[in-house]
Structure 1
Amino acid sequence: MAQILPVTDKKLLAKFIDFPHELYKNDPFYVPELHIAQRDMLTPGKHPFHDHAKMQLFLAVEGEKIVGRVAAIINGNHNTIKNVKEGFFGFFDTIDDKAVSKLLLDAAQNWLKENGQTSIMGPVNFSTNDICGLLVTGFDGPPVAMMPYNAPYYLPLLEDFGFTKKVDLRAYKYTAGNYNDRSVSLLEGLENRLKRSNIIIRKINLKKFKEEAAALREVYNSAWDKNLGFVPMTDKEFDYTAKDLKMVLDTDFCYIAEQDGKLVGFALAIPDINQILIKIKKGRLFPTGLLKLLLGKKKINGIRILLLGVVDGYRKLGIEACLYGRIIKAFKARNFQYAEASWTLEDNDMVNRPIENIGGKLYREYRILEKAI
């Protein structure tokens, strides 16, 4: 019979991080997270999320064998800004066993209740600014960069515990030669029209990355403020994320809209680094993983359109079309084979309709679930 074991030291933390590798060892679509990145993320003092949050990790064990894991998370900034007492669960992985799943979720729920929370929501690792959602449709391939993956049996286990749908997140896919590139043919005219209002579209300047990141933070926190569960990143959180993204950034796929030196929008697509990570055993960069990472970057032939936002007051001027046009133009020039636009809220027609008009096909959905406690 399984028992719950709170994670209290580095040895247990390593087991917590490594459990999915064993669980999915025979799954050809599983992509391991980098161990060093997961370790730092889950260690208070290493990741700035912990400056305003509380977290407890739990393992489910049967004898010497680990059979599940979960994190109970209290995001202080989320609760303060939203004026709620909503806890989160994340890093949820389990064998296909109702009793084990219940043990894990009970542990997370009870810890959150003891710490004053009145509901539980997830899966979210740590917030909607990070990897979140439960894969519910589209189990036919590996996830793209910074998107979650799980077995199909997770949903019935969570529903059996009493979770219900809060919202679905969408992922759209474009394939080479199978999309509408009208925004590329209109690009020059649209950009010339914007220039009459002193609005220009340009690539990110990596030589001034620190200054660019500071300005992008303001746009990000403004442009996404209406999204479900969105809480602005702190300066430290954004800088931490920007530093990670810089390692995979390709300037052909990162564009800024600017009026008289003021950033008013940006679009970011990143190379699908998962094409390499899927080959790195247990997420270890040493001894051979680092070489695979360095040699594999030039062979990547897919992207994830991660962010595209324009601040209020500048929307519907054609900026969004120009940002998309620039990315599509680079996608064609580099002979990439696919692009995923993710994620978007299922009811966000202002975003979803243009994606569909360009030729994006809805091919995966992810679910955020909730439950009163």
Structure 2
Amino acid sequence: MKTVVPVNSKSDLAAFIDFPHELYKNDPYYVPELFIAQRDLLTKHPFHQHNKLQCFLAYEGGKVVGRIAAILNNGHNQFNHASDGFFGFFDCVNDKEVAKLLFDTVTGWLKDRGVTQKLKGPVNFSTNEPCGLLIEGFDSSPFLMQTYNYPYYADLIDSYGFSKEVDLIAWHWEGGNYDDKSVRLLDALQERLKRNNIVIRKVNLKDFKNETVRLREVYNSAWDQNTGFVPLTDDEFDYLAKDLKLILDPDFALVAEQNGKIVAFGLALPNYNEIFKTIKKGRLLPSGLFKLLFNKSKIQSIRIYALGVVEGYRKMGIEACLYGTIIKEYKRKGFKHAEAGWTLENNTMINEAIKAIKGDPYKKYRLYEKAI
């Protein structure tokens, strides 16, 4: 008999976090999430202060065969004047009956809390966190903070009646296979920006608290027109910034500033998934912590995580300067691979800019929706 039960205890939560490890144990591209990070995300993240989340586990014969989280994102509904609910943390054996039970459970939970319009996902918790179902590019491991799933997931979701909301694109560069025009023109572009009192500089880690306040304003304005965007609260952005500070390389954390006002930022991150892939079940103890500490210098790839420019400062050359600086550092440090993304499929301006520097659209993720 197949049943779905709510996650209500520490042991339930551990089973919820650990289920993907068993499901993907024979998949060469799977990267386990760090247990402590997933536990804190699901229990301590500031998201829970003003939103609701309930995790569920599907069982058959005493064995976990699926998981899902029902997410009521009040911030999304207020910002978008909607009454939507979300599903996230979805993993399932290749069984449409199990998937239907999970989606039915989430739908019922959300309806009981007043949701009347659409069920959307997958998001963990919103588009500010890892999101989207991988539908193209199953032949390599995900980069840091990107999702991964079996190809059959799309059939499970389609069979329940979901339809596409929007696709997200991840771009890849192999070695030196990029157009370095932005690097060659970097000095000239920066001189042009200086005539408008705009300078490109590194994030000041010694004054990180004040930098975070100003970066949050840019973040919440640069992406506010994107599909599914939800502004981060002060506490949520601080939580994200503190996490990123632990892993960022200062040479890849850049801002554009005009007369003391930050108007854009670009951030690339070392791809720690190269290390996480070797940490069994995402446990830092007993040996995972040593792998993390001693293998940082061996990371060979980066992910361009975010690049945003506030309205009124676009098409001035700031984007090219940020990309050019990141590419210059990528080359200087001897990295072998880079990923940018994701980007919305309908963001023509940024997608054309990435194509111009020979970005390869090698992975595609999908956000789905269904009327409740």
The reply to whether TM is greater than 0.5 is yes
1:306 counterpart residue number: 305
2:211 counterpart residue number: 212
2:187 counterpart residue number: 188
Give, as a single letter, the amino acid of the residue that structure 1 aligns with 2:221.
Answer: S
1:95 and 2:85 are equivalent in the alignment? no
2:176 counterpart residue number: 177
Deviations 1:210-262 (A, max 9, x none): 11111110110111111111111000000000000011100111111001111
Deviations 1:141-166 (A, max 9, x none): 10000000000000001100101111
Give, as a single letter, the amino acid of the residue that structure 1 aligns with 2:263.
Answer: V
2:27 counterpart residue number: 27
1:36 and 2:36 are equivalent in the alignment? yes
Alignment of 1:226-305 (within 5 A): 226-305=225-304
Distance in 1, Cα, partners of 2:79 & 2:218: 18
Deviation at 1:81, TM superposition (A): 1.4
Distance in 2, Cα, partners of 1:63 & 1:243: 42
- Secondary structure at the residue paired with 1:106? helix
1:107 and 2:105 are equivalent in the alignment? yes
1:163 and 2:168 are equivalent in the alignment? no
1:203 counterpart residue number: 202
Alignment of 1:45-84 (within 5 A): 46-84=44-82
2:2 counterpart residue number: 2
- Secondary structure at the residue paired with 2:247? coil
Distance in 2, Cα, partners of 1:193 & 1:351: 21
2:327 counterpart residue number: 328
- Secondary structure at the residue paired with 2:285? coil
Deviation at 1:63, TM superposition (A): 2.4
Structure 2 stretches lacking a partner, 5+ long: none
1:347 counterpart residue number: 346
Deviations 1:349-373 (A, max 9, x none): 0110000000101100000000011
Distance in 2, Cα, partners of 1:164 & 1:102: 15
Q: 1:86 aligns with which of 80, 84, 87?
A: 84
Distance in 1, Cα, partners of 2:294 & 2:105: 43
Deviations 1:21-76 (A, max 9, x none): 01001111110111011111111xx1100111111111001122100000000001
Distance in 2, Cα, partners of 1:352 & 1:81: 26
TM-score w.r.t. structure 1 length? 0.99
Q: Which runs of 4+ in 1 moved over 3 A?
A: none
Deviation at 1:135, TM superposition (A): 0.1
Give, as a single letter, the amino acid of the residue that structure 1 aligns with 2:56.
Answer: F
Deviation at 1:103, TM superposition (A): 0.8
2:223 counterpart residue number: 224
Distance in 1, Cα, partners of 2:194 & 2:262: 14
Structure 1 stretches lacking a partner, 5+ long: none
Deviation at 1:319, TM superposition (A): 0.6
Distance in 2, Cα, partners of 1:366 & 1:5: 28
Aligned length, in residue pairs: 371
**Percent identity of equivalent pairs:** 61
Give, as a single letter, the amino acid of the residue that structure 2 aligns with 1:303.
Answer: I
Give, as a single letter, the amino acid of the residue that structure 2 aligns with 1:61.
Answer: Y
Deviations 1:80-122 (A, max 9, x none): 1111110000000000011111111111111111111121000
What CA RMSD, in Å, does the superposition of the two structures yield over aligned residues? 0.7
Distance in 1, Cα, partners of 2:145 & 2:79: 26
Give, as a single letter, the amino acid of the residue that structure 2 aligns with 1:13.
Answer: L
Distance in 2, Cα, partners of 1:56 & 1:319: 42
